[in-house]
Amino acid sequence: MRRRSFISLLGGAAVSWPLAARAQPAMPVIGFMNSRSQEDTPHVLAAFRQGLSDIGLVEGQNVAIEFRWADGQTARLPSLAADLVARRVAVLAAFGGEAAALAAKQATSTIPVVFGIGDDPVQTGLVESFNRPGGNATGYTILTALLEPKRIGLLRELVPGIALLGILANRESRAVRQLHEIENASRKLGQSLFVALADNDTELDAAFGSLTERRVGAVLVAASAYFDTRREHIIRLAAQSRLPAIYPLREYAFSGGLISYGPRITDLYHQAGMYVGRILKGAKPADLPVLQPTRFDLVINLKTANALGIVVPNAVQLLADEVIE
């Protein structure tokens, strides 16, 4: 009897184990896609994970993340978005510009989307309004184009008497609006411009060749996910050409760029992580306002300035949030 009782007990346990396993809630999966590369984004990934953690979600414990990287090649984004949607992720997080956000939005009308862009999300058709996004998407925007006049002013203070200002941009939709703002600001200042466009590595090298041939006095590097993936190379080209340059993110100045002015991107990724967490806990994207940056960093690299023979005015140094000695 004891043996039969033991076998019965064991058989009952064998039946109950799968049922218990099936009763456990499935771990939600976040689909994370980015126009940039994994190698140049560890700091923003850390900020995104911290945002999730602040909501009580820890990767590998109660949430999983599927990563997809375009490595600066925006043509890959629609297939990356489609792949994540096919995997039935709970939330689709799309960063690195309008191309990633639009690819995510076009891939699904039901899965919540949290985006990070540099353009106006209303004009691009991502949301109905900033305060009430409507639909299945929300996130943050830097509104990059509005910062370009400030960058031009800073560069002219740093390098007085620029006869011809070079602009390095690419052909993505955001660049068109950036160039419009740059041209308007330059017209008011009486500043002549020369625009060099680059969408790939060959064009990038050729662009700096053109900037040098035209003898521009300094270069404004427009915001671009592709440029972010080629940050070190761009800084090296500027140094070889002995061209003072201003960049859109502080990472450029810390990598050896002369000066940068723009939002602290880690703040925005942190907030985006919190938005993803809130959505996983029941919030609707339609009710979460589109975020905008509140903190902007001016970073000056004095080592690079000395190498270029530039004396940074005290007034500019006093404006800086960080000065790299």
Q: What is the 3-state secondary structure (H, E, C) of the chain?
A: CHHHHHHHHHHHHHHHHHHHHHHCCCCCEEEEEECCCCCCCHHHHHHHHHHHHHCCCCECCCEEEEEEECCCCHHHHHHHHHHHHHCCCCEEEEECCHHHHHHHHHHCCCCCEEEEECCCCCCCCCCCCCCCCCCCEEEEECCHHHHHHHHHHHHHHHCCCCCEEEEEECCCHHHHHHHHHHHHHHHHHCCEEEEEECCCHHHHHHHHHHHHHCCCCEEEECCCHHHHHCHHHHHHHHHHCCCCEEECCHHHHHCCCCEEEEECHHHHHHHHHHHHHHHHCCCCHHHCCCECCCCEEEEEEHHHHHHCCCCCCHHHHHHCCEEEC
Q: Which two tokens stand for residue 322?
A: 């960080």
Asked if 13 and 235 count as a contact pair (C-beta separation under 8 A), the reply is: no
d(CA 9, CA 40): 56
d(CA 111, CA 105): 9
pLDDT grade for 298, boundaries at 50, 70 and 90: very high
d(CA 270, CA 51): 4
- For 11-51, what is each residue's pLDDT tens digit? 444 444 444 444 455 899 999 999 999 998 999 999 999 99
pLDDT grade for 10, boundaries at 50, 70 and 90: very low
d(CA 45, CA 52): 11
| pTM for this model (two decimals) | 0.87
d(CA 143, CA 230): 22
pLDDT value of position 14: 43
Angle CA(252)–CA(258)–CA(262) in degrees, nearest 5? Answer: 50
Are 29-143+265-295 and 145-263+297-324 the same fold in CATH?
Answer: yes
CATH number of the structural domain 29-143+265-295? 3.40.50.2300
pLDDT value of position 19: 44
d(CA 252, CA 141): 20
Nearest to 246 by CA among 255, 228, 258: 258
d(CA 269, CA 49): 9
- For 242-290, what is each residue's pLDDT tens digit? 999 999 999 999 999 999 999 999 999 999 999 999 999 999 999 999 9
pLDDT at 107 over 50: yes
Q: Which two tokens stand for residue 138?
A: 């929300």
pLDDT at 180 over 70: yes
- For 232-244, what is each residue's pLDDT tens digit? 999 999 999 999 9
d(CA 243, CA 60): 46
- If you average pLDDT over residues 171-179, what whole number do you get? 75
- Going from the C-alpha of 214 to that of each of 111, 167, 219, 241, 243, the distances in angstroms are 49, 12, 12, 12, 12
The CB-side HSE value for 147 (13 A sphere, CA atoms) comes to 28
The domain segmentation of the chain, as residue ranges, is 29-143+265-295, 145-263+297-324
> How many Cβ atoms are within 10 Å of 92's Cβ, its own excluded?
28
The CATH homologous superfamily of the domain defined by 145-263+297-324: Response regulator (3.40.50.2300)
Spatial strand order of the sheet with 192-197 comes to 192-197, 164-169, 218-221, 245-247, 259-263, 296-301, 322-324
pLDDT grade for 117, boundaries at 50, 70 and 90: very high
